[in-house]
Amino acid sequence: MRSSTRCSRCTVNTPAGTACAKVGPVRHRTAVLLSGGDLLHSTPTGPARCSASPFPIESAKRRCGRRGVIDRQAKFEFEALSFDDVLLIPAESQVHPLAVQVATRATKHIGLRVPLLSAAMDTVSETALAIALAREGGLTILHKNQPIERQADMVRKVKRSEAGMIVDPITLPLTATYGDAEALMQEYRISGVPIIHPDGTLAGILTNRDTRFENDPNRPVTELMTSKDLVTVPVGTSLDQAVEQFKIHKIEKLLVVDDQFKLRGLITIKDITKKIEFPNASKDELGRLRVGAAVGVAADTDTRLEALIEAQVDAICVDTAHGHSQGVLDTVEKIRERYPDLELIAGNVATADGCHALIERGVDAVKVGMGPGSICTTRVVTGCGMPQITAIAECARVADEFDVPIIADGGIRYSGDIVKAIAAGASTVMVGSLFAGTTESPGERVLWEGRSYKVYRAMGSVGAMSEGSADRYFQEGQKKLVPEGIEGMVPHKGPLSDVVFQMVGGLRAGMGYTGCATVEDLRHQARFVRISSAGLIESHPHDVTITKEAPNYERR
């Protein structure tokens, strides 16, 4: 092998240690070249860090070998593991699975009754699923692959779907018609609307009872509404007091007014029954269902953010494929400066450095995952990524120091993967494919070979990117797209509540096996064992023909 020396900065064959014309004195580097001219490595003559290598090198981790040739083994940081590479070790347990506590944190200040978030994907997370998941105790991040006003309207619909008291009820003026009222009630899926005077005082209420046999859309609401003997309650009425009024008057809606008879709120019997039916629902301080929404780094981010905050969204997620990039970091920092009290999630990252960079800029939760999703091709298209268990553990190592929750995004195929993700350091998991097959997901339902499926696509697929998600993969404005995901379909699984029941049931069982009474116990106490390929085969059903499918298992 022949070698020669040159300065890797100015490419001039000059002895090391002499002045470099481009970067100043005593900055030449000695490089070892193969006979073909390929630069292997450069040895620093001054600073401890070797800056002449074509790769970024940390001197503490990668050191120059003899004759300046790089130790190629040092380029491999460590061996990384994913869900199928490990199992949790059973431990002595004094807790029953039904007695464990699965409550956790989605962000620093938002608690959840179950550790489940739905992914910000256009075939997963829209209004119906957001309402259903919040009722089960989880949180939805509404996708941004849509016009700004439509996304903000989804937030409003979720927030209005139920509440302890609706503090800003939808109203109509005295000049409205039955057609106006009918359109409004259908849009917001409500069964009644208060009618008010121009000064805000209450004039009456129009309900389904008043319009049951009406078919003239031009008829004024003043001829149909109930305006006499209105049942009202003062501001500050508790839910228990409201229940008594419902019992006495046999009505379904209570109008909340102030001392000037101006409408200040609305309490419905539906909200009270929902509270009893869904005791674990994720709600804000006003009793409304919680919902989050995604933004990106596109030109419309500021406008989208303002609309979502005006709609009273609970959390914002800066959703990108590579959260450890300068554009994302700048966006996060800008949002935090403008909205210091906003619950802010950002990602995705897969390393401790990436996690730390986001935390430094003020996020309330970090989303972890690069390429583990079932419809994601990032790892094979770009050659970049990190197996999910290792990514979670590396990020959690940093996040725990700052008390910032980790959201494990992607790769969840079975309920056992949820247990593993939390044991590795996550506080919650973000789910895509398992929710895409539910009745409430917005994906199109199709029949194939006699079985029902729902369409599911990656936000990095050609279809999704062409409709608005290209900025997530830093390809906004490109005429030709390089997709990092595919389009497909998943089996229809039925109501989301059934899927959540199985997922949480598996989590409870896993906590029982490991002797962990709480999610925090699972994060800190559980221990892993690495398994072989034979161990993975042994873990799944084998040497048998499955004759009846289980609701929580599907052969891959």
What DSSP line would sit under 477-511, residue for residue? T-SS---SB-EEEEE--B-HHHHHHHHHHHHHHHH
Alpha-carbon gap, residue 405 to 111, rounded angstroms = 11
Say whether 189 sits in a helix, a strand or coil: coil
Q: Which helix (H) or strand (E) holds 208?
A: helix 208-211
- Spot the catalytic one: 156, 304, 472, 523: 472
Alpha-carbon gap, residue 381 to 485, rounded angstroms = 9
Secondary structure of 4-47 as H, E, C letters: CCCCCCCCCCCCCCCCECCCECCCCCEEEECCCCCEEEEECCCC
Give the closest residue to 303 by CA, choosing from 149, 525, 420. Answer: 149
Any catalytic annotation for residue 10? no
- Spot the catalytic one: 20, 317, 376, 516: 376
Alpha-carbon gap, residue 178 to 21, rounded angstroms = 82
Enumerate residues 6+ apart whose C-beta is below 8 A from 36.
none
Alpha-carbon gap, residue 372 to 385, rounded angstroms = 8
What are the φ/ψ torsions at residue 266 (nearest 5 degrees)?
A: -145, 130
How far CA 366 is from CA of 167, 350, 392, 418, in Å, comes to 32, 10, 10, 17
Any catalytic annotation for residue 20? no
Alpha-carbon gap, residue 196 to 172, rounded angstroms = 6
Alpha-carbon gap, residue 248 to 250, rounded angstroms = 6
Alpha-carbon gap, residue 190 to 126, rounded angstroms = 18
Alpha-carbon gap, residue 236 to 373, rounded angstroms = 47
Q: Could you give the residue numbers annotated as active site?
A: 376, 472
